[in-house]
Structure 1
Amino acid sequence: MKKLTLLVAFSMLLQLAFAGGLLTNYNQSAQYIRMLSRNAALEIDAVFYNPAGLVKMEDGWYFAFYSQTIFQTRDIDTQFPTLNSGHYEGETTIPVFPDVYAVYKKNNWAFSLGIGPVGGGGTAEFPSGIPTLEVPFSLIPGQLAALGQVDPALAVNSYDLEMALEASSTFWGIQVGASYAPHDKFSFYGGLRIVPSTNKYEGAIRNIQLNGVNAAAWLNGASTQVSTMAANLNALANVPEALAPILPVAGNYTLAQLVGAGQMDAVQQGQIEAGLQLMGLSPEQISAMNLNQINGAYVQAAPAFASTAQTLSGTAQTLTGTASQLGDKEVKTKQKGMGFTPIIGFNISPTDDWTFAVKYEFETKLTLENETDVDDMGLFPDGAESSNDIPAILAGGVGYRGLGWLEAQLSFNMYFDRDVNYGNNIRYSTLGQKVHRDIKGNYTELALGLQFNVADNFAFSVGGLRSKNGVTPQYQSDFSYSNSSHTLGGGIMWNITDKLTFDAGVSNTFYQDDTVTFTHPGIGSYDETYAKTTISLSAGISYSIF
């Protein structure tokens, strides 16, 4: 069995983007959850979505706090034939997913601050593990099938284990910038997002069993039995050497006669008879054979006995080595780092009814360093560094407010995933194969949001979002996968006073299942299907000081 340090890349579990590309959280306000399209926003959440448009606000101070509660499930169904169960479930629950915004607007300038989790923000739990980590254990019974031929009592019929994985991630975005309007119809933005990032991984594999008992103990016991068999066969291979001194004087004696004459004891007789039975001779044939005939049979069989003994000795060593790998394993580590994202934006409002906006976030170069407490699997050497770059984003939006009772926004996002190296596919790496996680196209989103102003101080909204990834089958694995999706959202806006506004929304993302075919040596091709669901609830308030 391959070394268990193949249990690698817990970090892939941390691609927890909830509304956005492969790595980015684009769900950064309650208004977004209720409309799903905010790239032409002119309210306070424009700090994130359309920062160049902040100069369209009235002069004064603006503050907002929003929080989301997010529920995400991941379902993995595999047809790998040796697993006890082909169904695995993962859950992520985020009680608090906060965003804080502040804006100071004066004349043709606006200065803004935004804080929120631009990546991760939650904990992914897989209480039963994932297929890639269990597959090596599921293969053990088949790999030890030959033991049943050595001794039926050594046949391995089942395996079991307890496995749990937990990975949490928070990439905070602390964004500061300034917006300037050289003309009342267009404006510019320049800003910088600081991204302090932390990943935490905890995982354990415990109580590995074979045939319902501790695997290490069972394998060590089997090793002892096989070693004893090897020793017995070596002794049988050496029978001609042991018989050589008495052959000249007792060659015509049977085994019973030799025991009666004191030339051999009953134990030696039994061992020699057992060897002859292994050669296929019956008790009647053995009792009639003299020592010369017995010696001739052993001379002929000795090479086979010696060869089998050598094979069994190697098997015993393999069993002992495998047993040493099947003890409890634990990983507990933290990764920390910081990246920087330059951001630029442009907003044009040719009339009060129309808004056109564009924003570009540059690629975030991010290196994380391990701070490891326990690493029984050799996955996270303390002090080692790894790359976790976040792709650039181009966001554009069109807003229309000309009807008074209806506001509409159309948004488009492109995440430049093709410019980021996502490394190799872990599923293939566990097989010693190098398969790069290819991206054939950039992740894109198209959204339409409608707000219906049914009263001077109250509105409700609906929105729809289509997300399409550009990954290839080589990208997908149970460690990390991406599904194209449709999202529906809705909610309300209530102006409690002229200065205090309450927003609330709910969205549900419907992901398309993705089935990928893998090939495993000795097993052949099999399918694995990946599914997700995400529900987001959001509420928050904004307050203005004019």
Structure 2
Amino acid sequence: MRKISLVSIVMLIVSISTFAGGILTNTNQHAAFLRMLSRGATTEIDAALSNPAGLAFLPNDGFHMGLSIQSAFQTRNIDASFFTFSGYDGTNPIVSDQPFNKYYKGKAAAPVIPSLFAAYKKGDWTISGFFAITAGGGKASFDDGLPMFESLAMAGIFQTALKKEGKIVTPDMYNINSAMDGKQYIYSVQLGLTYRINEWLSAFGGGRMNYFTGGYKGFLRANLKEALGGAQLMDPLELDCDQTGWGLTPVIGVDAKFGKFNIGAKYEFKTNLNIENNTKQNTAADGALAAFRHGVNTPNDIPSMLSVAVAYEFIPTLRASVEYHFYDDKKAGMADGKQKFLTKGTNEYLAGIEWDVTKYLTLSCGGQITDYGLSDNFQSDTSFSCDSYTLGFGAKLKLSERAALNVGYMWTNYDDYTKTSKNYNNIGLSGTNVYSRTNKVFGVSIDYRF
């Protein structure tokens, strides 16, 4: 029978992000983002990521730092419905009267996601940096496999049995066991300098080193049911592959203050990043899993990103911010050139507001709309995205003149994406997948000025 490929499933984690942001980029690294979402014009310590030029307007010289811990939980589900072969009329296979239906559940969890921010300000100069997981950050598990593999296995088993033994083997006669665990992290360290040009304008220049590490373990097996003898219907496929890679991201930014307005802008250049296989087990290295032979490289670029934000102080105790992000995903290399199927880059629109209820307590909330350039050719069981809107809320508690505690909660509501195909997963039959997702993130951060 034809081989069943696991190539796409191991690439799944590349597109799984347990954060906000573009297809391959995480923007929330601090609880202040979770509680307000629009932080692109902030001048607090989390600006080391979101608005580094704004650090020129820190209120005090000296050393500032922030430590954040987040927990993120996500689901990625597929409601699949596809036709199978049910018999043979002596000339052609007979298609089933009713489609095969199954709901496939995927879970991604990242219980502890740390981030560290630091800045030292002396007069007009500020040196800053941060450590964070800027992409990925979680482990994904698909305990029941995926529809693309079950549909391929079903078609292959039917054709092989018919060709070799002249028998009809239908889905009710066997069990397919397929599962995959995967994890991906891009650890990033950024360092840069901010200079205050005059009373109202500052600029930033810096760079970020990104280190990719991921791991994938999976299998696919098919056997007749015990009542029919339990015979193996195909050679098992197994994969155990680690991947690593690194790349550099230049970053520039500006910040301008005009009365009660503050404008922050940042541009992150595209990061050229290839990930290399360190394969421990691969049962089809010369066939279906050739892309995961030991030493093979796969593109996994981080797209360029533009952020522009405007904050306004209505009164000393009430502030609001609006923001725009653009991720140039179409120019970032992806596995198998998937970026070519995007209709455009990712657009994000953010807004947030915060209110100082008392001298020691600030409440805030915010929202974000994410609009991808999706297409049917881009979407697959193993790598799909959904347009969404995100809501967040939380509080900042001033512990002392030098310390503040931020807490925030963010959840994302995704639009379902329906993909219908007349040649479902290249099996020659029709089928439909409805892709859906959920995402919830909680975080706490402590900021301190020495």
Normalized against structure 1, the TM-score is what? 0.74
Q: Any idea what the Cα deviations from partners look like across 1:117-154, whole Å, max 9, x if unmatched?
A: 111011111111111122122224542574899578x8
Aligned to 1:538: 443
In the superposition, relative to structure 1, how do residues 542 and 144 fare at CA in structure 2: closer, same or farther (>3 Å)?
A: same
* Alpha-carbon distance between aligned partners in 1 of 2:430 and 2:81, rounded to the nearest angstrom: 9
In the superposition, relative to structure 1, how do residues 156 and 383 fare at CA in structure 2: closer, same or farther (>3 Å)?
A: closer
* Alpha-carbon distance between aligned partners in 1 of 2:227 and 2:177, rounded to the nearest angstrom: 13
Aligned to 1:236: none
- Is the Cα–Cα contact under 8 Å of residues 34 and 462 in structure 1 kept in the other structure? yes
Matches within 5 A, 1:400-411: 400-411=312-323
The residue identity in structure 2 corresponding to 1:416 is: D
Matches within 5 A, 1:478-517: 478-517=381-420
Aligned to 1:97: 113
Q: Any idea what the Cα deviations from partners look like across 1:135-193, whole Å, max 9, x if unmatched?
A: 122224542574899578x8885221221101100001100000001111000000100
* Alpha-carbon distance between aligned partners in 2 of 1:437 and 1:213, rounded to the nearest angstrom: 48
Q: What is the aligned residue count?
A: 427
| Pick aligned residue for 2:433 from 528, 537, 541 | 528
Aligned to 1:302: none
Aligned to 1:205: 220
* Alpha-carbon distance between aligned partners in 1 of 2:170 and 2:406, rounded to the nearest angstrom: 64
Gaps (5+ residues) in structure 2?
A: 85-98
Aligned to 1:366: 273
Aligned to 1:474: 377
Q: Are positions 1:168 and 2:183 aligned together?
A: yes
* Alpha-carbon distance between aligned partners in 1 of 2:208 and 2:228, rounded to the nearest angstrom: 52
| Pick aligned residue for 1:460 from 363, 369, 380 | 363
In the superposition, relative to structure 1, how do residues 30 and 155 fare at CA in structure 2: closer, same or farther (>3 Å)?
A: closer
Q: Any idea what the Cα deviations from partners look like across 1:498-543, whole Å, max 9, x if unmatched?
A: 1110000001100000001223266433211100000000101011
Aligned to 2:104: 88
SS at match of 1:143: helix
| Pick aligned residue for 1:347 from 247, 255, 280 | 255
Greater per-residue strand proportion: 2
| Pick aligned residue for 1:122 from 138, 147, 167 | 138
| Pick aligned residue for 1:383 from 280, 289, 295 | 295
SS at match of 2:53: helix
| Pick aligned residue for 2:334 from 422, 434, 440 | 422
Matches within 5 A, 1:201-240: 201-206=216-221, 208-212=222-226, 218=231
- Is the Cα–Cα contact under 8 Å of residues 298 and 335 in structure 2 kept in the other structure? no
Shift of 1:85: 4.4
The residue identity in structure 1 corresponding to 2:439 is: T
In the superposition, relative to structure 1, how do residues 347 and 376 fare at CA in structure 2: closer, same or farther (>3 Å)?
A: same
Matches within 5 A, 1:305-324: none
Shift of 1:480: 0.4
Q: Any idea what the Cα deviations from partners look like across 1:265-305, whole Å, max 9, x if unmatched?
A: xxxxxxxxxxxxxxxxxxxxxxxxxxxxxxxxxxxxxxxxx
Shift of 1:14: 2.5
SS at match of 1:79: strand
* Alpha-carbon distance between aligned partners in 1 of 2:293 and 2:367, rounded to the nearest angstrom: 44
* Alpha-carbon distance between aligned partners in 1 of 2:37 and 2:172, rounded to the nearest angstrom: 53
Aligned-residue CA RMSD (Å): 2.2
Q: Any idea what the Cα deviations from partners look like across 1:365-390, whole Å, max 9, x if unmatched?
A: 00111111111132311111111111
Aligned to 2:196: 181
- Is the Cα–Cα contact under 8 Å of residues 416 and 435 in structure 2 kept in the other structure? yes
Shift of 1:212: 3.7
- Is the Cα–Cα contact under 8 Å of residues 82 and 100 in structure 2 kept in the other structure? no
- Is the Cα–Cα contact under 8 Å of residues 395 and 407 in structure 2 kept in the other structure? yes
* Alpha-carbon distance between aligned partners in 1 of 2:189 and 2:73, rounded to the nearest angstrom: 24
* Alpha-carbon distance between aligned partners in 2 of 1:451 and 1:39, rounded to the nearest angstrom: 14
In the superposition, relative to structure 1, how do residues 135 and 13 fare at CA in structure 2: closer, same or farther (>3 Å)?
A: farther
- Is the Cα–Cα contact under 8 Å of residues 13 and 184 in structure 2 kept in the other structure? no
SS at match of 1:97: strand
Shift of 1:436: 7.5
- Is the Cα–Cα contact under 8 Å of residues 80 and 86 in structure 1 kept in the other structure? no
In the superposition, relative to structure 1, how do residues 155 and 528 fare at CA in structure 2: closer, same or farther (>3 Å)?
A: closer
The residue identity in structure 1 corresponding to 2:238 is: E
In the superposition, relative to structure 1, how do residues 524 and 137 fare at CA in structure 2: closer, same or farther (>3 Å)?
A: closer
* Alpha-carbon distance between aligned partners in 1 of 2:366 and 2:403, rounded to the nearest angstrom: 24
- Is the Cα–Cα contact under 8 Å of residues 408 and 449 in structure 1 kept in the other structure? yes
SS at match of 1:133: helix
- Is the Cα–Cα contact under 8 Å of residues 82 and 429 in structure 2 kept in the other structure? no
Q: Which entry has the higher C-alpha Rg, 1 or 2?
A: 1
- Is the Cα–Cα contact under 8 Å of residues 93 and 122 in structure 1 kept in the other structure? yes
In the superposition, relative to structure 1, how do residues 448 and 132 fare at CA in structure 2: closer, same or farther (>3 Å)?
A: same
In the superposition, relative to structure 1, how do residues 386 and 522 fare at CA in structure 2: closer, same or farther (>3 Å)?
A: closer
